[in-house]
Amino acid sequence: MLIDAARESARTFDKAVLAFGSAVFGFSIAFVKDIAPRPIPDTLIWLRASWLLFSIGLLAVLLSFLFSHRACLFAIEVEEEALHKKDHKRRTNPWGIATDCCNILCIIFLFSGLLCWSTFASDNLRYGDIPMNKVVTPTEKKGYVPPPPPASAPSQQQAPSPTPIPPATQPTPKK
């Protein structure tokens, strides 16, 4: 019963860390796409560092899944040997140690990635060219833009009536 509870706890931990890491990684991509599409060049090192740390943290979680499975297989093998030999000496489970190391490393890498990303985000929100609380209208118009309407077109009723042009008088010929 306790073994099942411990196994379920480890499985839940791995899933929660994997979901958290994936969500933060995805949110950072959406932040760059929608909020800071033109980040400050000096802050890109923080973004690269955060993505590298997120990637390593997610890899550590995935390796933790694999190593956890190997640790179970190793424990089964050791218990089988213990049943057949009376003077059996217990061996330490290297896969269990590897699983614990991956769990610790994934937390460290994901947290460090979150700190790097927070630095990137705060710098770009503070010094970026897009104010967060105001609607930004683009200064450059793209595509067809119709010409502005005339200042005021005279209506049909106000249009001046055409003045009749008097017939031209022709000079009379001299005799």
**pLDDT tens column, 17-59:** 888 888 888 888 888 888 888 888 898 999 999 999 999 998 9
The region, left, alpha or beta by phi > 0 then psi within -120 to 50, assigned to residue 5 is alpha
pLDDT in tens, 52-93: 999 999 899 889 888 988 988 888 888 888 888 877 787 899
Task: Round to whole Å and give the CA distance between 112 and 105.
Answer: 10
Amino acid of residue 112:
S
Contact assessment for residue 113 and residue 50, using Cβ atoms and an 8 Å cutoff: yes
Contacting residues for 99 by C-beta, under 8 A, at least 6 apart: 10, 64, 67, 68, 71
The domains of the chain are located at 7-33+45-127
Task: Round to whole Å and give the CA distance between 94 and 103.
Answer: 14
